[in-house]
Structure 1
Amino acid sequence: MSRLDVTETFHSITFPGHLHTQDSLNYATNFKFQDTDTVIVTYPKSGTTWMQEILSLVLSKGDPTIAQTQPNWARAPWLEQYYSPDVLNASKGPRIITTHLPYRLLAPALKQSKAKVIYVARNLKDVSVSYYHFHNVAKFLPDQGTFSEFLNAFLEGSVHYGSWFDHVKGWTSHSKDIQNFLYVTYEEMWQDLHGALQKVSRFLQCPLTEDELIRAQKHCSFNSMKENAMVNYTLIPQEIMDHSKGKFMRKGKVGDWKNIFTEEQSFLVDDVYSSQMADSSLKFLWECPAEI
């Protein structure tokens, strides 16, 4: 399935047709979750791959075998992508499911289960930079022009997967409507990976010994993931992802936006953020602590 130039529009949100169809999107919104499911929810480029790796290693008690032999999209498939029914139907035991869908589309299905939901958020300045670079690599995403042009579209919410603001606020403002909900930020995983692993293991009711935590931390560090073909997307053919234009896993740092943003762009985002997030109590770390 190529469809690299196809865009699917579903409930006023656009999705890359290479991975999504109307049938796959309808399948996702009508999905029958099981109480034993764990669902990773993110806006793109917000720590999705990292949380997939964390869950794989927590559930395996730090044993990296699965994480090093099975692609992340096979062990934690994206619910709304066309291949997921085959993967999920063949899975045995508790399932890890990944999604980029906004709350309003998935809420009706989730409310009928006790599935555990882990929402990962990342500051939008770093998200915008990471997403822009991903557009340059992924041939199934449209050409967004210059970073300035992309940033304007991103702030308007006219990029694939919709508005960052709607996504983050939609899920976090309805967290009490979901029986088992955990909120984690990319920045806290970056600052204290050991603590984040403990937080996730408690939420999953899967306690780890200190040795298991250390082993899990080693294998889900950014440097380890960057070299792991099961998560760094080097398995994806060149005609789908142009690896000559950049790596899927670039830097993984907090505050990398400072290397591309102009002062004017930073002020613009600050203004839009203040307006859009006025009704939210969420706080984000924008820079590395040593640089603040």
Structure 2
Amino acid sequence: MEGSVLPSTVSRAELIDFEGISMVHYFTDNWENIQNFQARPEDILIATYPKAGTTWVSNTLDLLYFGKTDQERQSSLPIYLRVPFLEMAFPGMPLGVELADKLPTTPRLIKTHLPVQLVPKSFWEQNCRVVYVARNAKDTAVSFFHFDRMNMSQPDPGDWNTFLMKFMDGKMVFGPWYDHVCGYWEKKQTYSNMHYMFFEQMAKDTGREVAHLCSFLGLSTPVEERERITEAVHFDVMKQNNMTNFTGVSFLDFKISPFMRKGKVGDWKTHFTVAQNEQFDEHYRQKMKSTTLQFQTEI
């Protein structure tokens, strides 16, 4: 699928209040079909707040399951066709629900950014495995800012300070970061089929995290194969790979910023002023005071 795969009829959307969280219509237009999606017991749901390493983990799982048996798909199918984005409803592009429904693979790998309370019930009813990836709030905010600058379907981010205030207020597509990461963390306490991962740990020791994934998924992937996958999902390798870097999606303006920008832990330090950092830390303490969930902002 070379060249542009989407018409440029996609334009910046306004935030709407939807089921108690901020959304844009591209993710709610097909809502009834999303909520009625029929998961199968072998499906694997990859859930994240935006910019938390979704593509990283999607690609890792795709390689773990199909890297040896179907190498063709790695070099010919973009990641968004191999791992459909469930709630996606962009004009001129197949609906995420339809792509997921028609996936020929077993297991079906499906991604979502929906907060835990909006995930289609069938995933829980079928006891599907869920892989959740969380990233520290500061790096997520920076990454989301640059993403919104280049993604013409998202609300205009404004300048960095304006955006940071919106992030702290939870006026973001898919709602507040705080509620999202804590919601899945709480769910994990009662739902045993969830693997909760941290972006920072993935960056620090990808091989170890891949081994943990294999353990959770019940895969006996040989060490050499795991090492090969670890190399293949290195950030710089994926950034150069047109099947994983979202090249060809016409509403992403790569002249403003790459889709895969840095993939670093601690890049927030190049954006936050001392005053912003102090304000953010104080707000963060309030928001996160009643959870056991903890993050690293540097490694």
**TM-score relative to the length of structure 2:** 0.90
Are 1:200 and 2:207 matched, yes or no? no
Q: How does 1:93-172 map to 2 (within 5 A)?
A: 93-106=106-119, 108-172=121-185
Give the CA deviation at 1:86.
2.3
For 1:178 and 1:230, the matched residues in 2 are separated by: 33
Are 1:75 and 2:93 matched, yes or no? no
Answer whether contact 1:198 1:213 (CA < 8 A) is retained: yes
Q: How does 1:171-186 map to 2 (within 5 A)?
A: 171-186=184-199
For 1:236 and 1:212, the matched residues in 2 are separated by: 31
Once the two structures are superposed, residues 247-283 of structure 1 have per-residue CA deviations (whole angstroms, 9 ceiling, x without a partner) of 1111111000000110111111111111111111112
Match for 2:82: what amino acid?
A: R
Once the two structures are superposed, residues 3-59 of structure 1 have per-residue CA deviations (whole angstroms, 9 ceiling, x without a partner) of 423445421333333x3343x233222322110000000000001010111101111
Give the CA deviation at 1:66.
2.5
User: 222-231 or 201-210, which moves further after superposition?
Assistant: 201-210
* Residue 278 (structure 1) aligns with: 289
Once the two structures are superposed, residues 78-112 of structure 1 have per-residue CA deviations (whole angstroms, 9 ceiling, x without a partner) of 11112123212322221001000011112633321
Task: Tell me the SS of whatever aligns to 1:97.
Answer: strand
Answer whether contact 2:12 2:156 (CA < 8 A) is retained: no
* Residue 11 (structure 1) aligns with: 19
Give the CA deviation at 1:243.
1.1
Are 1:54 and 2:66 matched, yes or no? no
Distance 1:85 1:107, change over 3 A: closer
How many residues are aligned here? 284
* Residue 4 (structure 2) aligns with: none
Gaps of 5+ in 2: 1-6, 90-94
Match for 1:245: what amino acid?
A: I
Match for 1:217: what amino acid?
A: T
Give the CA deviation at 1:114.
1.6
Are 1:265 and 2:276 matched, yes or no? yes
Task: Tell me the SS of whatever aligns to 1:235.
Answer: coil
For 2:24 and 2:107, the matched residues in 1 are separated by: 29
Provide the identity percentage.
32
C-alpha RMSD of matched pairs (Å): 1.7
Once the two structures are superposed, residues 110-159 of structure 1 have per-residue CA deviations (whole angstroms, 9 ceiling, x without a partner) of 32112100110000000000000011101111212111100000010012
Answer whether contact 2:85 2:112 (CA < 8 A) is retained: yes
Gaps of 5+ in 1: none
Answer whether contact 2:40 2:123 (CA < 8 A) is retained: no
**TM-score relative to the length of structure 1:** 0.92
For 1:221 and 1:207, the matched residues in 2 are separated by: 22
* Residue 92 (structure 2) aligns with: none
Answer whether contact 2:87 2:97 (CA < 8 A) is retained: no
Distance 1:67 1:9, change over 3 A: farther
